[in-house]
Amino acid sequence: MKTNDPYEKARKRVKAKKEFYQHFNSYVSVGAFLLVLNIVTSFGDWWFMYPMMGWGIGLAIHFMSVFGIPGMEHGAEDWEERAIQKEMEKMKRKGELPPREEPEESLELKEIIKEKHGKNWDEKDLV
């Protein structure tokens, strides 16, 4: 379910960023621990980098899901709407878009006056 509430949208984005930073901190902490363990147990055979590479791929995917692909806006969920707005701004500057007609605020309805028409009818007769 998508929401149009800007506060809720911002809260979710901040939460996703916070979760990524926690994931990144775990990656760095465990990576440092595995490096120390690797040096103590089998110096010269750098086995710690294999689990870190696998986890690093997962971390990169998590980064792209939160921040998008660096240099490209396609990863953002509202990319299409921003691209449409950007294209419309370009078209306005070039004069390719006609002026936007604003819808009328309200319709003006004229009152029907019974006496003027000289008819006898009830309100329920009108549909």
- Residue position matching structure tokens 């960023």: 17
pTM greater than 0.75: no
Local structure of residue 120 (DSSP, 8 states): -
Please give the Cα distance from 39 to 29 (Å, whole number). Answer: 16
pLDDT in tens, 2-42: 567 788 888 998 999 999 999 999 999 999 999 999 999 99
Nearest 5°: phi and psi at 44?
100, -30
Of 4-8, 86-90, 120-124, the poorest mean pLDDT is in 120-124
The whole-number pLDDT of residue 85 equals 79
Please give the Cα distance from 33 to 105 (Å, whole number). Answer: 66
CB 61 within 8 A of CB 69: no
What lies within 8 Å, CB to CB, of 110 at 6+ separation is: none
pLDDT in tens, 45-85: 999 999 999 999 999 999 999 988 877 655 555 667 777 77
Specify whether the backbone of 68 is left (phi greater than 0), alpha (psi in -120 to 50) or beta: left
